[in-house]
Structure 1
Amino acid sequence: MTIRTLGDPILREKSEKVTKFDENLHTFIKKLTEIMYKEDGVGLSAVQVGILKRVFVFDGGVGSKVIINPEIIETSAEMTEIEEGCLSIPDVYANVVRPKWVRMVYQDETGESHEEIFDNYSGRIVQHESDHLNGVLFIDRISNAKKILLKPKLSAIMRKSAT
């Protein structure tokens, strides 16, 4: 499995709900986690390795966590602006405005349901990774002025992705 980069059309597709919580899923999650750490990422979604399933892994600083079939059910009114990057858009960073915290319902790797508030750093990561599952990239959330400044870098990544 390799990380898909900007320009790969799969990154713009909506991922499908996971319905089978079996050994194949567990093996995939283990591999996804290994890739995230190998690439020095803090989060990685299934779609980023070409699998259209609603799964991501992340590490907000206290070890890896698996999120399956996430749904954000509440967001804070308070917003924060923090620089983000993405393994699918290498060497590109930009400030993104997002809610400070989100309440999310999701399933773990056994299929058990959870409801949890993710805030600060973890909140930022789960929002970024949830976006991936809906075909949204962090560059979709930046200002037009910043997009213009980043256009040469983004175009170069897209050209490389096409080869």
Structure 2
Amino acid sequence: MASPGRSTSLSDQVEELLTRTGPLPIVAAGDPVLRRAAEPFDGQLDAALLSRFVAALRETMRAAPGVGLAAPQVGVPLRLAVVEDPAPVPDAVREARGRVPLPFRVLVNPVYEPVGTGRAVFFEGCLSVPGWQAVVARHARVRLLARDESGRPVDEVFSGWPARIVQHETDHLDGTLYLDRAELRSLSSNQAVAERWAQATPDLAAAELGFPLAGED
């Protein structure tokens, strides 16, 4: 259990954040909070404050827009994240990437483990690394263990793009950015991705930029 001093500090930090109106400011790469393991949630925020914080994370994620947001991305080192993906993509992209709708979820103290040996390789971006994307090989299927905002246990297998989202956001809570797992020769501006690499798979980008797709299953 967290110490009383630490709990009060986190509670006060969240209360201060929530005094602002509109989306919360997103912390960019280079801030130490993104490079430290987040503190497991153990009641540091009471139910009412947790509900308000989750609502603010949801608003911030949607406004960005993004498909996930971890508490450290708004400067709060708690093991908490929100995810949601309406998946408004063409059929070819949906089929290649397994990008299916992911309803809004709150993940408290999440951890994941691979299911099988399959890997999926696609471009990925991050709200804390604005303007850039890179190709990342991730587990194609993962088992997620967590709690929801009400403390109910979550034990679920995710595949396709939802599995990528779950891994990306859980990594944030371990102080890991997607760039740590990326093929850095693939690093491209959002403009370059839109103009050159908007295909359903990164095969053309791999051929033109000279990086392997060895992680692909």
Q: Taking structure 2 as the reference length, what is the TM-score of the superposition? A: 0.65
Q: Shift of the alpha carbon at 1:9?
A: 1.2
Indicate which of 98, 107, 122 corresponds to 1:67.
107
Instruction: Note the residue ranges of structure 2 that are not aligned, 5 or more in a row.
Output: 1-23, 86-100, 190-217
The CA deviation at 1:66 is 0.7
Aligned to 1:33: 58
Correspondence for 2:146:
106
- 1:66 alignment partner AA: V
Matched-pair identity in %: 36
SS in 1 for 2:58: helix
The number of aligned residues is 149
Return the match for 2:41 from 8, 15, 18. Answer: 18
Quote the Cα distance in structure 2 between the aligned partners of 1:62 and 1:95.
Answer: 21
Deviation at 1:73, TM superposition (A): 3.5
Question: Who is 1:129 aligned against?
Answer: 169
Q: CA separation in 2, counterparts of 1:28 and 1:65?
A: 14
2:130 aligns to what SS in structure 1?
strand
* C-alpha RMSD of matched pairs (Å): 1.6
Q: 1:81 maps to which residue? A: 121
Query: Counterpart of 2:27?
Result: 4
CA shift for structure 1 position 146: 4.2
Partners of 2:121 and 2:58 lie apart in 1 by 27
Deviation string, structure 1 residues 132-152 (Cα, Å, up to 9, x no partner): 0000000001135446x88xx
Q: Report Cα offsets for 1:37-67 as digits up to 9, x if no partner.
A: 0111000000000001111111132431111
Give 4+ residue runs of structure 1 displaced > 6 Å after superposition: none
CA distance in 1, matches of 2:102, 2:141: 17
Deviation at 1:118, TM superposition (A): 1.0
2:51 is paired with a residue of what secondary structure?
helix
Question: Gaps spanning 5+ residues in structure 1: where?
Answer: 151-163
TM-score (norm 1): 0.86
Q: Residue type of the partner of 1:92?
A: W
